[in-house]
A and B are shown apart, each in its own frame.
Chain A
């Protein structure tokens, strides 16, 4: 096959995967907006969307009877949670892509490398030190970002000390995340008791307590992280073939690595600050994207953002359905992602270590 045909084929594959996952995402968003304690379901939401979509163009200007209540519940109550879950998933997906590329390790991801638990520990500790912080979202996000960065540097240094292989990276990540997970538990207890605010739930990751005001920091961080990753995408492609290769193409691998670590910490940190520790999304999503369109980061990054939103929103829907059907309220989404992600991790581990 000629190169041009091969190339056009991969562009087509990318567009097809992107459009397909966007359609899927739309359906899952509607599904997510259809689930709640009040009785409005999938079709009500679709009808509401249809009506409001038309009114944007000036057709049927006033809502029929009953729609105002649906609109209130869908837009004010269910929508923030849906949107935040979607944005968090997109961010974690991209963070996973960045971390896997710069460590050249397809088993790496923010949670497994200890970014999430250090981030939550630092958030909790800073709330204990400066109680006023609890209500200032921007500070919480900033602190969470710095915490995630700390986690990444600790894991990287520990892994380098131990010889710096694919396996030592994962083991160092386990060491760092275990240590900080223990610390995070103690601190979370203290914060919850002292300030009488739901904080323990963040250890398991949950969108139950998401507020409308959480949307803004999520959007801003995702925009920054996404744009940066797209700009870095060619350099990430080069770095997959080694630091020396990237250097001889004119890139500075140390800069690339630092920048990527920075942005993955931002994307992880903002999610930790708002929804807590959510593992394995950053691991699974890049693999799905690469399976669909290959390894080129120029297309893996945008696709991972969409698939990340899709995966995490789906996990949250499962968590909510489980909650409503069992009557146990607030089953954490982190439990669902771990249940799905950990076996996938085990599969990758076996596949990689056996070299097949």
Chain B
């Protein structure tokens, strides 16, 4: 299982948003996309999710061009995080998770199969949130909601996991919990996981591969040590940082001041 992004070029109307994006990532790998606001992180994730069509370039999943697949076939391979929850409809966690099985059912079939319920049951117990199944989504705490959102991604049984800001709006404990969880399932389920993040320490601590984007281009790509350097960060974020390598703690990133 491999994801290959080849020469992507994307425009919003006539404004360049992504240019010459090339990289590759394989199963069991967690990749972080970092970069200042407006660098194109979310756009890139959406292009890989087939939510946006690039003007040029191809995204290959296992050698197959995404745009040659139907949206439903893509939905079986790729799950993209989406965090909107309507209020006033009393939707429960189970309602939400059932929808994530739709790509696997036959198009016009109305029933949920035994297998679908089995997958949901497994994912919920793996994430230790079986007790939330009957709760209303709009009454969950942000930590619970984050787990439910990750559960949905897994219930979809994708090969590629794309998550925009998995630690946004979470306190420190939940940030760590969510990232530990993501790293663990990436390895255990052999997924290709790509996240975007504003937090350099998250990229440093959890990613196998880091991509630094700026103005729609890849500035640096490689291991966190290779990418998160004072030179790279000052030229993109315009922030001075100090980086330590600790034999036990790994990469330590300390932001100093804006320049």
Contact = CB atoms under 8 A, between A and B. Distances in A.
Interface of A: 1-4, 6-7, 10, 100, 104-107, 230-231, 233-234, 237-238, 240-242, 244-245, 247-252, 290-291, 294-296, 298, 348, 352, 355
B190 interface: no
B142 interface: no
Max count, chain B CB within 10 A of own CB: residue among A3, A4, A106, A234? A3
Closest A-B pairs by Cβ, 10 of them: A242-B84, A250-B72, A106-B88, A250-B71, A250-B75, A245-B82, A3-B121, A248-B80, A104-B86, A295-B91
18 contacts: A6-B134, A7-B112, A104-B86, A231-B108, A237-B98, A244-B82, A245-B82, A247-B71, A248-B75, A249-B75, A249-B103, A250-B72, A290-B90, A294-B91, A294-B95, A295-B91, A295-B95, A352-B88
Given A4-B121, A6-B133, A7-B94, A234 B86 contact: no
A17 to B, nearest CB: 15
A240 B86 contact: yes
A347 to B, nearest CB: 12
A238 B89 contact: no
Contact of B99 (A2, A230, A241, A244): A241
A1 B124 CA distance: 12
B120 interface: yes
A104 B89 CA distance: 8
Nearest to B69: A250
A3 B86 contact: no
Interface string B47-90: 00101000000000000000000111111001110101111111
B110 interface: yes
Contacts of B120: 3
Nearest to A107: B88
Contact of B89 (A242, A244, A290, A298): A290
B102 A3 contact: no
Contacts of A230: 110
B193 to A, nearest CB: 16
Contact of B74 (A107, A250, A294): A250
Contacts of A245: 82, 84, 99
A210 to B, nearest CB: 33
Contacts of A244: 51, 80, 82, 84
Contacts of B87: 352, 355
B71 A294 contact: no
Interface residues of B, number: 40
Contacts of A242: 82, 84, 86
B99 A238 contact: yes
B90 A294 contact: yes
B96 interface: yes
B92 interface: yes
B84 A233 contact: no
B227 interface: no
A234 B82 contact: no
B88 A7 contact: no
Interface string B101-113: 0110000101010
A237 B95 contact: yes
Given A3-B94, A4-B121, A105-B88, 7 more contacts: A1-B134, A240-B89, A242-B86, A247-B51, A248-B79, A294-B95, A355-B87
A237 B112 CA distance: 13
B100 interface: yes
A10 B120 CA distance: 16
Contact of A234 (B79, B110, B121): B110
Nearest to B97: A3
B207 to A, nearest CB: 23
B75 A295 contact: no
B1 interface: no
A250 B84 CA distance: 17
A104 B102 CA distance: 20
A104 B86 CA distance: 6
